[in-house]
Amino acid sequence: MKSNLVQRYTLIAIFSASLLVLALACAWGINQQSNENLSLSGEQPVYFVVSPGKTLYNVFAELTAQGYLSQTNLLRKIWLKTNPHFSQIKAGWYTLTPNMTMLELLRNLHHGKTTTHQITLVEGQTLWQWLAKMSQLDNIEIDVRFDADTYTYIDAQGNTWQEGYVLPETYQYQHLSKASDILLQAFNAQQAVLQALLTDKSLPPGITSEHEWLTLASIIEKETGVAHEREHIAGVFLNRLARRMRLQTDPTVIYGVGPDFDGDITRQHLRAKTPFNTYVINGLPPTPIASASTAALASVLSPKQTDDLYFVAKGNGEHYFSETLQQHNQAVRQYQLNRSEK
């Protein structure tokens, strides 16, 4: 009798132990599902889009179809059922990297850690130069074109962008963002800067609008070789405007030539009757000629008070400033003509 009881308890113990081992094995197998590595063919990351409205199971089906995940099995389904919070995912572009686990991907999908890039838009450059830089990347959709007839930029939605109404800075953007979205970031950033600069300063005499402010700042940006001269150059241009003298600044001539300018400014360029050529027009050109930095914008509000009306490049990035045409012509002979004869 005792022998039968011992056998029965032994069998029960063995069966219970077997169930426990099986349960632990299943638990381990279920837990291991989250550690499954994505299968990428190379060492380069892959961009994967989650469209709005897609469920987690839709995403897994697409990843499986594209060969990044193995076929969904029962253990993975159980793991997903026991971790229901991961079912809430956010749309966008995601980066799949070699050796990324399913858990890492799920965390990214759940928290919306979408793929971002950054681009630095340089001060003193034009919008067409910015767009050329963007077009060299494979992660920006170029939806803005330059209209050479009107010197404006038009996006796919029909919105018009003017030169100079963007702040040169470094911007973060989502993978495959539109160029117009990045420009909108830069526009909003500039508006914030303009508002901040006007909290304790005001526009100088002769500058009557934000548009004129941006236009003059863009010229200062192009003419400045060293930072400490910005306010001095601003003062010279404001002095000339006050005396109704033409600004006669080469960067406006170059901008009027357009994207085809080859780097060599000629007498013909200086005489060209473009709306931007300040050798032939009075006052400021109709629009900014580049993207002005915060420092250039600030210099218009704090110009150096002098009687200077002229400046000439000295060849080292700095300029020689003069009050009279006679002084200026002498400086041109010293710094420009003599140097060209050497």
Distance (Å, whole) CA 137 – CA 31: 40
Q: Where in the chain is the domain with CATH 3.30.1490?
A: 28-111
Distance (Å, whole) CA 12 – CA 172: 64
Q: Are 229 and 313 in contact (CB under 8 A)?
A: no
Which residue do the tokens 């989250």 mark? 34
**Per CATH, the architecture of 28-111 is what?**
2-Layer Sandwich (3.30)
CB atoms inside a 10 Å sphere around CB 99: 9
pLDDT of res. 4: 59
| CA 174 distance to own-chain centroid | 10
pLDDT of res. 150: 86
Per-residue pLDDT of the chain (342 residues; tens, 9 = 90+): 556 555 555 555 554 544 444 444 444 444 444 456 777 777 788 899 999 988 888 888 888 888 887 766 655 666 677 777 777 889 999 999 888 888 888 889 889 999 999 999 999 999 999 999 999 999 999 999 998 888 889 999 999 999 999 999 999 999 999 999 999 999 999 999 999 999 999 999 999 999 999 999 999 999 998 999 999 999 999 999 999 999 999 999 999 998 888 888 888 999 989 999 999 999 999 999 999 999 999 999 999 999 999 999 998 889 999 999 999 999 999 987 765 444
* Pairing mode, strands 152-155 and 144-147: antiparallel
Residues facing residue 313 across a β-bridge? 319
Q: Is the dihedral of CA 201, 204, 210, 211 positive or negative?
A: negative
Question: What single string gives the DSSP state of each residue in 233-276?
Answer: HHHHHHHHHHTT-----HHHHHHHH-TT--S---HHHHH---TT
| Rg of the chain over all Cα atoms, to the nearest angstrom | 33
Give me the helices (H) in 94-158, please: 102-111, 127-135
